[in-house]
Amino acid sequence: MRFYRLIFAAAIAIAAVQAAAPSARAADAPTLQADDHVLGNKNAPITIFEYASLTCPHCAAFANDTLPKLQKNWIDTGKAKLVYRDFPLDQSAVMAATIARCFPPERYFPFIETLFQTQREWAQSSAAATKTALARIAKLGGMSQAQFDSCTADQKISDAVLNSRLVGQNQYGIDSTPTFFVNGTKVAGDLPYDEFVKYLEAKSGAVAPSRVGPATAANERPRGVIATVRSWLGSLMSRT
């Protein structure tokens, strides 16, 4: 499993180099897009962008320990919103994120929460065991086996998951998970609540970078880059 994760990381790195245009300039921070998954009031003045991998232990620690307090004190009170974006570290994370995107919007964050809570049960297994475990968890969330099979075979959705990582890596300079942007300020790492909340308090009077705009060449990578990642993964796995 560790071997495949290293291969996945190498393929992503190579694709990122190929995708980077010489004249491209990384944006300071992400902005809200129409297809983003948003936890909380979309009009909340503080926007927290989170780039995370569902197989990342530090991301799970943030989701399980810090986020509940943020949700209670800042998100549920309308002072902040959280925008979750995928930054998969391996193929298991791609599969899990793909399944999450197949749920209706109202079940998306509950499923993400469940995946982080049960991460040790599915993220460290073989590919086959991971898929079986994810199918079981998805069934508990109301997804039938037929829906699960259709979802995991949907390349368009998994491409979107990979694209989220490529945009984060190439455009915003993200190289670790979790990484956050709090009204434009980059915050890296799994910070405890008392530390993370300082960034929210500093931004409590700021204007959130929350404009919604259509996808552009700046935030959409060519499908050829994603195909490169898939090609590398497929060719290397076929040799093992």
Q: How confident is the model at residue 204, as a pLDDT?
A: 84
3-class SS of residue 179: strand
Q: How confident is the model at residue 207, as a pLDDT?
A: 45
Q: Once rounded to an integer, what is the mean pLDDT over residues 60-89? A: 97
CA dist 29 and 33 (Å) reads 13
* pLDDT per position as a tens digit, 22-74: 334 455 789 999 999 999 999 999 999 999 999 999 999 999 999 999 999 99
3-class SS of residue 93: helix
Confirm if 139 and 148 have CB atoms less than 8 A apart: yes
Alpha helices in 24-174 (DSSP H): 57-61, 67-70, 91-101, 105-117, 119-122, 127-140, 145-152, 155-172
With a cut of 80, say whether residue 89 has pLDDT above it. yes
CA dist 166 and 77 (Å) reads 33
CA dist 31 and 38 (Å) reads 12
Confirm if 173 and 20 have CB atoms less than 8 A apart: no
CATH code that applies to domain 25-212: 3.40.30.10
CA dist 168 and 5 (Å) reads 19
Helices 223-238 and 2-19, packing angle to 10 deg: 150
Q: Considering the entire predicted model, what is its pTM?
A: 0.79
* pLDDT per position as a tens digit, 107-135: 999 999 999 999 999 998 889 999 999 99
The residue ranges of every structural domain in the chain are 25-212
CA dist 58 and 143 (Å) reads 27
Cα Rg for the chain, rounded, in angstroms? 17
Q: How confident is the model at residue 11, as a pLDDT?
A: 53
Owner of token pair 């944006």: 27
